[in-house]
């Protein structure tokens, strides 16, 4: 069984973030690290792969939140804000609820809104709806491009 020599970069109560001498990183459970600072090669390769995938997903999410996303349809508009409909599914009620979320025009650029603001407004509307109907809700749709998987 081949083992890889590693160094500890960060430590939590249960896991280590490790580096090898090739610059690879990965998280493993503390119990998998040998007393001689080595880890099983198969375990290490899986840890590297998982770390890389998570870092990639994190970078994509960060980029999405900074990017502007085009509003497909404005449902209401005032002098200072625009509203877009968002749909939620209630877990226990088998019913779809629609709400308007408002974006200040000062935050709208060329009919587009940054992802972080969209996510914040959808999360806020979902929390308010959950309190009103006393059950959890799941985001379904919104009239903005590239917003299929907003997490509440």
Q: Tens digits of per-residue pLDDT, 34-75? A: 999 999 999 999 999 999 999 999 999 899 999 999 999 999
Is the CB of residue 69 less than 8 Å from the CB of residue 51? no
Asked if the model's pLDDT at residue 149 lies above 80, the reply is: no
Q: Percent of the chain, pLDDT > 70? A: 97
Mean pLDDT of 1-11: 93
pLDDT band at 1 (very low <50, low <70, confident <90, very high): confident
23 CA to centre of own chain:
26
pTM, two decimals, is: 0.74
Q: Tens digits of per-residue pLDDT, 68-109? A: 999 999 999 999 999 999 999 998 888 999 999 999 999 999
| Pure H helices in the chain | 41-66, 115-133
Q: Domain-by-domain residue ranges, the chain?
A: 3-65, 68-142
pLDDT of residue 150: 65
Task: Evaluate the CA torsion angle 112, 73, 151, 60 in order and state its sign.
Answer: negative
pLDDT band at 146 (very low <50, low <70, confident <90, very high): confident
């Amino acid at each position: 069984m081949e083992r890889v020599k590693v160094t500890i970069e960060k430590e939590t109560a249960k896991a280590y973030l490790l580096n090898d001498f090739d610059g690879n990183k990965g998280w493993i459970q503390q119990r998998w690290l040998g007393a001689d600072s080595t880890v099983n090669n198969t375990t290490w390769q899986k840890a590297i792969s998982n770390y890389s995938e998570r870092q990639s997903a994190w970078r994509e999410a960060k980029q999405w939140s900074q990017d502007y996303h085009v509003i497909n349809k404005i449902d209401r508009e005032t002098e200072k804000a625009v509203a877009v409909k968002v749909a939620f599914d209630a877990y226990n009620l088998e019913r779809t609820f629609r709400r308007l979320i408002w974006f200040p025009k000062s935050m709208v650029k060329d009919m587009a809104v940054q992802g972080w603001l969209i996510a914040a407004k959808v999360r806020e509307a979902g929390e308010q709806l959950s309190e009103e109907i006393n059950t959890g809700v799941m985001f379904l749709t919104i009239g903005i491009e590239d917003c299929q998987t907003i997490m509440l």
